Amino acid sequence: MKTILITGSTDGIGKLTALKLAKDQHEVILHGRNQEKLNTTITELKEKTNNDYIKGYVADLSSFGSIQKMTDQLKEELSKIDILINNAGVFKSRNQQNEDQLDLRFVVNYLAPFLLTNQLHDLIKKSNSPRVINLSSAAQSPVSLNALIGKEIVPAQQTYAQSKLALTMWSFYLAKQWDFANVIAVNPGSLLNTKMVQEAYGQHWSSADKGASILYDLASSNQYANSSGKYFDNDKGKFSQAHTDAYDDNKIHQLIAATKSILSV
């Protein structure tokens, strides 16, 4: 039995992935922003899978303090984490910035996974063969460090693409730093039928299950046991090249330095 944490797992591909993994009788740790919705999802998944090893934690991933509170709870209550799927993401939001006046897309899509993953280092390291799966996107755009630190405002679509490239750059960096873990960045598929995509574009190309299926495979299949530091493009159905900046050590160094400064880590 693996212990698997999936952020943003009360709907969309996060919930579908949790369902698939729970059917295999793994211990599945859900995450959501709303306690009531989280409880409903836990009950639903337990009934559908006959798996009692499902529980959840609440955190607002736009708040660094809320992330810290959740990771403190996880460190108290779990003995290890075998698989971490950084699935939660945001495109459109009523609030464009968080409490620190940082763009919400950068915070939820990149800074939150960075902070959460590093806070859980010790739990992840206790696994025999840990995997960290970071949800990137086909949309990847060069990162403006001024936009990242809140000194420049750019349009939502551009910020989203920048946040996803930042996540991919960090994934490659983490793969080199954490030689004990298998770190994979993945584009789960463009315009999947999820709430986020419908709110942003009002249309979809593929079912949400297409994304959930590749997340399930990346999390559980031996086929991907030695794929650390790679980018899987599910539009192509194979490992592929990410944006060229993801392979630029100087730009990665600048990104990580700015990130650590924001998060004071």
SS3 171: helix
d(C-alpha 195, C-alpha 93), whole Å: 12
Which sign does the torsion angle of CA 172, 66, 52, 16 carry? Answer: negative
| The one-letter amino acid at 68 | Q
Tokens of 83: 């698989």
Q: Is 173 one of the annotated active-site residues of the chain?
A: no
CB-CB contact of 124 with 133 (8 Å): no
Exactly one of 57, 160, 216, 224 is catalytic; name it: 160
CB-CB contact of 176 with 256 (8 Å): no
CB-CB contact of 32 with 56 (8 Å): yes
Provide the pairing of β-strand 27-32 with 54-58.
Answer: parallel
CB-CB contact of 12 with 195 (8 Å): yes
Known catalytic residues are: 160
